[in-house]
């Protein structure tokens, strides 16, 4: 198992993407367990527009589970301890693929987050971002809402393979305002939880080794449950996922019982 080491900060710029020496340094540190935070990557007002749009979708259409296959539509789904999930959790997810169009042109707006993710993984900056899958994988934007009282995700480790080293996360909420307790954490080398959300605000992005043990502690436990309030913790996950036909990559591993 890999544990988190230090939390470091880096400024995003176009120059960073062409600085091979700096990229190699950050990659090496992430491989060893360091967490990198990039502040104020996207404007809060734009993210609020997106979040409000997703809330309307969540309130006015039925959630459905979809298998990731070429041409799969964008969709939203509930995971209320769904037995099809590899890691036990509770959240509402809104999923977008680059082969579909959307009103915000999300993959165009957020492409630079993927560029850095791919370079840190030792890959071509724009890989997985076209409409055609590459290496049996595709980029997937997943907005996740963790409702108050119910929202959580068990401690787990995600697969690090040829497709990615890190799975960046962007905040679309703020601890202390949108929710008070719980939130995302990584397990440190001292075997204690570092609550990453304590360091984050709207539009901040976290890059860390996907195999570092991490999870989401229950969001505001004890508050009255209300899925349709859409109040709680919101994030955006910059994932690269294998197609359903891809057998080359392992699955996320729920490690809660191993840590008990």
Residue range 39-84, pLDDT digits in tens = 999 999 999 999 999 999 999 999 998 999 999 999 999 999 988 8
Q: Check residue 256 and give its pLDDT.
A: 62
Say if residue 134's pLDDT is above 60.
Answer: yes
pLDDT band at 14 (very low <50, low <70, confident <90, very high): confident
Residue 139's alpha-carbon distances to 51, 113, 123, 148, 228, in angstroms, are: 20, 12, 13, 29, 28
Helix residue ranges, H only, the chain: 14-18, 20-31, 44-60, 106-109, 111-120, 256-259
pLDDT band at 260 (very low <50, low <70, confident <90, very high): very low
Say if residue 120's pLDDT is above 60.
Answer: yes
- Give the three-class secondary structure for 197: helix
Say if residue 179's pLDDT is above 90.
Answer: yes
Q: Check residue 137 and give its pLDDT.
A: 94
Residue 39's alpha-carbon distances to 61, 200, 238, in angstroms, are: 34, 8, 16
Average pLDDT over residues 190-210: 95
Cα–Cα distance, 14 to 239 (Å, whole number):
21
Cα 69 off chain centre by? 20
Cα–Cα distance, 118 to 147 (Å, whole number):
31
Q: Which domains does the chain have, with CATH numbers?
A: 7-259 (2.60.120.620)
Average pLDDT over residues 245-255: 71
Q: What is this structure's pTM?
A: 0.93
Between 14 and 136, the higher pLDDT residue: 136
Say if residue 108's pLDDT is above 70.
Answer: yes
Q: Check residue 97 and give its pLDDT.
A: 98
Say if residue 87's pLDDT is above 60.
Answer: yes
DSSP state of 228: G
Q: Check residue 207 and give its pLDDT.
A: 97
């Amino acid at each position: 198992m890999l544990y988190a080491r230090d939390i470091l900060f880096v400024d995003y710029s176009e120059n960073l993407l062409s600085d091979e020496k700096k990229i190699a340094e950050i990659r090496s540190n992430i491989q060893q367990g360091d967490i990198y935070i990039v502040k104020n990557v996207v404007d809060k007002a734009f993210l609020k527009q997106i979040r409000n749009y997703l809330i309307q979708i969540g309130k006015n259409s039925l959630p459905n589970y979809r298998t990731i296959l070429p041409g799969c539509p964008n969709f939203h789904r509930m995971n209320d301890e769904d037995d099809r999930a590899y890691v036990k959790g509770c959240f509402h997810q809104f999923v977008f693929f680059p082969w579909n169009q959307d009103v915000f042109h999300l993959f165009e707006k957020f492409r630079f987050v993927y560029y850095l993710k791919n370079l840190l993984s030792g890959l071509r900056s724009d890989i997985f971002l076209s409409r055609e899958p590459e290496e049996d994988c595709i980029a997937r934007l997943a907005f996740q809402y963790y409702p108050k009282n119910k929202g959580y995700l068990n401690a787990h480790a995600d697969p690090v393979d040829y497709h990615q080293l890190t799975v960046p996360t962007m905040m679309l909420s703020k601890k202390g305002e949108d929710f008070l307790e719980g939130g995302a954490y990584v397990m440190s080398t001292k075997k204690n939880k570092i609550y990453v959300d304590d360091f984050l605000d709207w539009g901040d992005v976290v890059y860390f080794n996907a195999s570092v043990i991490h999870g989401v502690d229950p969001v505001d436990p004890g508050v009255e449950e209300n899925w349709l309030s859409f109040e709680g913790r919101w994030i955006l996950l910059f994932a690269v996922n294998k197609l359903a036909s891809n057998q080359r990559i392992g699955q996320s591993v729920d490690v809660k019982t191993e840590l008990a």
